Structure 1
């Protein structure tokens, strides 16, 4: 009786794991390093910029308008766009302003009104780390590459688990590395064991990070992040969304409200004009906006963004370490009316889950234990990526790329195809790139058939 041979799809999974790993590894190294820098932003900022950020506590703070006047006196040609009140008694106040085409962070002693100095808003350690982490400092193209890397990272984890799955061997090299291993065996064991124990944590980091991407993240928010329409029924809104207040270097509003519309100021300005000319009343003062934030119970750490144009609004927003303290308020610049006030209570289940995941991702929810856990995950991802590259380099044949070989007579792998289809549909950019890689791989096999067979 002839025994039926069960086809092995191991090399096919290995081949896709190879393609994913070679593309993803450099991005994972970059994301892990910049992630660690941003993870320890509070400590690093205090260490590097203590002279700008820390002040001796006084008895009474000056009004926000007085601080603004001091800034405008020192920088008469600067255009102020944001104010960040001191988050605690020993911290400075901060203004964001544009001067000669540069965006500056300006620091002021809130008790004495002394200007402490300035900082380039885009050319400091944290701004650079954040911009690299989010879009490689090249705008939309970088954002799409980061999204592709994160999506292919998920392919890497799934295919890696298939390759890791025990096939009769013991725990050594599967659950822990061979203690006496050297050379390529050591790096293979290290890569496999780290990949297994870190699989769920890596998936968590990739998925929570994907929510901030410009294509998938925006689409995800538009589909799942909904607020009751009645919240905006009585408020004239513009064509701009709250996400326009965020940038690669600065996070102002929470993810949950990024797709909400910005209201319009002065909808009834014709009734507030001077001498019947229909001219809108002067803007409310900055201190009045601060008073509104305090009266509404917005927690310290919030920022106030200036109106953009005659119909713009003052926006008060805090992206809180505890997302239950998130707040986003939009204030009519003429009347001081609160046009929108969005809090945790207004978030849906998806928005609450994402905001919680993002705060865990950034290591902010539970203080240093959360930071330490995220540091461990970043180091795990970093070492896993490096060990994969070292392992590839050690096994790579001289003068060749080292693509894992593949038989021609393999039948259709229905389970593998199903998984790839699900991932391709869930992450469209990844799906399109999968088709491109598959076509290139077919061309490679047709061109060098003798190297494709095991």
Structure 2
């Protein structure tokens, strides 16, 4: 292919729109592809690590006996394992033949201790959130760069929306083209085969990719936290209890564990007469009585019991998809109990979430593949499809680029493009919906106007 062929101006209004979409698809892909490969690869790793071993390493097998020993005895065995240890959380076994897990904070940081619930024997102890899963999770969420990495990934996910929209427009059947060509690959040779496979895989996976982008963006720092979470948080005022200055996000401990709908919601505070009758006030509030009460009000199998922290802290019972407590996200439930009166200060369930928060509860479970083996296998296929789309895009560019020319060989930008006003409106809509995508597009236009227009050699390399 010659340089003239790659820069030739298309003829006809439809062709011009096609080439304009192709050009935006190309430039969005330059930024997005490395991130998509990283997200798919780390997502695959976390998916299978969580399925095979659990996020907290709680899949230590034990011999099931008739009756477990009291939780307080199990907890004491865990605390005795850690020097100057302080018990923070009890994670009930997922099944009768699995270990209980306790979080104990010591001088060297939080430690997870696996305990046989029938004998009290300590099976293992390990630093919290420092395993392979957590490394992959930190790369997946922030590239190990904190806020900077989070913003970079949010830009990639936002531009991913542009990539999907332009890709669908490019591959959509028009004229004499048939849907068969769009949905079933044509097994030709060379670049035509790669183009067919790229387009067909892209159109089949587009809906799923949009879903993963939206659910992923809902975790991000700007579109997720500042916009969607802020508009969809559970209103703590409904509880009628005094509120702490801490939000539920304070319980995350490094990675996302608290339900999305509650992260920004303030915690209730202990020490008042508020709340509904809970644990019988004649019973002391201990690990055993709180665990027994949790079972009485419907917490079965795996759930998490967090101890009160500070003078106004509360006992917290939780079972949610964010923590991989169970395969059914509609069973999410968080209960806060006053540390002095035993009253229930809050009981939040899936039914209490806003419509978008309900979408996120289910969406996170699907995104993380925690709904059983079928979701693990489905997510595996999707991640492999994303990696293929990214790799095949590079192959297509490599086969299309002019030989011996040191330039990107982007698709030509049509002149006198029709309906440019519509393109501007679409750009404004994307910018308003996804602020970081809008800022990125603005930065690119500014770069082109102020720098590239005055450096023709540099501009030629990027076109």
Give the alignment's TM-score, normalised by structure 1. 0.86
1:357 aligns with 2:358: no
**Shift in alpha-carbon separation, 1:336–1:226, aligned structure 2, 3 A:** closer
Query: Pick from 13, 24, 35: which aligns with 2:32?
Result: 24
Query: Pick from 193, 196, 202: which aligns with 1:195?
Result: 202
Partner of 2:7: none
| C-alpha contact 1:407 1:453 (8 A) present in aligned 2 | no
| C-alpha contact 1:227 1:348 (8 A) present in aligned 2 | no
1:330 aligns with 2:336: yes
Partner of 1:273: none
Q: How far, CA to CA, are the matches of 2:253 and 2:147 in structure 1?
A: 12
Q: How far, CA to CA, are the matches of 2:201 and 2:360 in structure 1?
A: 26
Aligned residue runs from structure 1 range 44-443, under 5 A: 44-45=52-53, 53-168=60-175, 170-171=177-178, 174-182=182-190, 184-218=191-225, 219-227=227-235, 229=237, 231-233=238-240, 235-251=241-257, 253-267=258-272, 284-320=285-321, 321-365=327-371, 367-397=372-402, 398-407=405-414, 409-410=416-417, 413-442=420-449, 443=451
Q: How far, CA to CA, are the matches of 2:54 and 2:339 in structure 1?
A: 34
Shift of 1:409: 4.3
Query: SS in structure 2 opposite 1:53?
Result: coil
Shift of 1:47: 12
Q: How far, CA to CA, are the matches of 1:16 and 1:157 in structure 2?
A: 11
**Shift in alpha-carbon separation, 1:96–1:88, aligned structure 2, 3 A:** same
Query: SS in structure 1 opposite 2:264?
Result: coil
**Higher mean displacement: 198-207 or 185-194:** 185-194
| C-alpha contact 2:271 2:312 (8 A) present in aligned 1 | yes
Aligned length in residues: 433
**Shift in alpha-carbon separation, 1:180–1:64, aligned structure 2, 3 A:** same
**Higher mean displacement: 242-251 or 165-174:** 165-174
**Shift in alpha-carbon separation, 1:46–1:309, aligned structure 2, 3 A:** closer
Query: SS in structure 2 opposite 1:249?
Result: coil
Task: Please provide the CA RMSD for this pair.
Answer: 2.9
Shift of 1:83: 1.5
**Shift in alpha-carbon separation, 1:132–1:240, aligned structure 2, 3 A:** same
Query: SS in structure 1 opposite 2:427?
Result: helix
Give the alignment's TM-score, normalised by structure 2. 0.85
Shift of 1:85: 1.3
Q: How far, CA to CA, are the matches of 2:22 and 2:432 in structure 1?
A: 22
Query: SS in structure 2 opposite 1:340?
Result: strand
Query: Unaligned regions of 5+ residues in structure 2, if any?
Result: 1-10, 275-283, 322-326
Query: SS in structure 1 opposite 2:182?
Result: coil
| C-alpha contact 1:104 1:119 (8 A) present in aligned 2 | yes
1:34 aligns with 2:35: no
| C-alpha contact 1:191 1:387 (8 A) present in aligned 2 | yes
Q: How far, CA to CA, are the matches of 1:293 and 1:117 in structure 2?
A: 26
**Higher mean displacement: 53-62 or 138-147:** 138-147
Q: Deviations over 1:229-266 (max 9, x none)?
A: 4x222x00012221221244351x21122232201122
Query: Unaligned regions of 5+ residues in structure 1, if any?
Result: 270-282
Q: How far, CA to CA, are the matches of 1:418 and 1:244 in structure 2?
A: 40
Q: Deviations over 1:78-111 (max 9, x none)?
A: 3332210112101101112333443322111111
Query: SS in structure 2 opposite 1:132?
Result: helix
Query: SS in structure 2 opposite 1:202?
Result: helix
Q: How far, CA to CA, are the matches of 1:299 and 1:147 in structure 2?
A: 37
**Shift in alpha-carbon separation, 1:441–1:16, aligned structure 2, 3 A:** farther
Q: Deviations over 1:202-234 (max 9, x none)?
A: 1011112222222222220221344484x222x
Shift of 1:383: 0.8
Query: SS in structure 2 opposite 1:339?
Result: strand
| C-alpha contact 1:256 1:351 (8 A) present in aligned 2 | yes
Shift of 1:376: 1.6
